[in-house]
A and B are shown apart, each in its own frame.
Chain A
Amino acid sequence: MFRQIVLWVLVIGFVGLLFPLIVDACPNCKNLDEPIARGFNWSILFMMAMPFTVVGVIGGSIFYQFQRANRNLKV
């Protein structure tokens, strides 16, 4: 039963991908030439980059601290 549900979900999802206009649900992204859509686009890109930046900086900082401690130990 569960496998059948998963199979149907996959089939419907795949069929949906063949008709992209049906899943074009966001009215702001349709006309990218409009200023408000451009604003949304840049805003989304900016905010999407943030989690990677935050994790990268914090992770990098922790890595640097441990590397420095190891270097000091060797000296």
Chain B
Amino acid sequence: MTHSELEFTGNRPLSNAKLGVLILLGAETMLFAGLIGTFLVFRMGSDLWPPLSHANIQLPRLVTGINTALLIISGYTMYLSLRAIQNDKVKQLRHYLIFTGTLGLLFLIIQGSEWIQLIGKGLTLQSGIYGGIFYVLIGCHAVHVLGAVIWLIIVIGKAIAGRFSVDRYIGVETCTIYWIYVVALWPVLYFLVYFA
């Protein structure tokens, strides 16, 4: 079979859906690059960080570190779910997907509870540059995790309905790419915002 025949049969090396997700991730990367660039300006532009107005606020590094570990594990289980369907193990696929979704939800719940505590201590979106850049950067990532969880719930629904097989799993594959992107982005933001 020649290369053009391969494309003609629809068995392309790179599907349209996968290419679409890659382009989406390119746009997402530019968005986060802009936000990280803004953070760098504020962070490097200040001798004191957090600024004096927020000197009493300590970001919860330990809890967020544990949360980071949870998210990284979810990235691995998502990868395992893709491997499961590639090996025609549909039952294993469902289990891994549900486990991944649970970890994603847990991440959001822990982060939400952290935010409630920080707001209680006076760190809000309007409290200054520190609060503003913290909530915009971390919040933007949280919205992406939420989007990924919603996408994953749809994929779980389809997996339970038996819509995926060893020959047809593009839905799982695209969701895995997006999930792993969101997971890989988090440690960068975590070390930048919580330790810089």
Q: Which A residues fall within an 8 A CB radius of B?
A: 35-36, 38-40, 42-44, 46-47, 50-51, 53-55, 57-58, 61-62, 65-66, 68-70, 73
Is A50 touching B42 in the complex (CB atoms < 8 A)?
no
Contacts of B45 in A (CB 8 A): 35-36, 38-40
Interface size of B as a range: 20 to 34
Task: Kindly specify which of B33-41, B86-94, B137-145, B148-156 makes contact with the partner chain.
Answer: B33-41
Is B23 touching A58 in the complex (CB atoms < 8 A)?
yes
Is B40 touching A39 in the complex (CB atoms < 8 A)?
yes
* B11: min CB distance to chain A, Å: 9
B interface SS class = helix
CA distance A68 to B14 in the complex (A): 10
In the complex where A46-B36, A58-B23, A62-B19 touch, is A40 in contact with B13 (Cβ < 8 A)? no
Contacts of A55 in B (CB 8 A): 26
* B188: min CB distance to chain A, Å: 12
Is B46 touching A35 in the complex (CB atoms < 8 A)?
yes
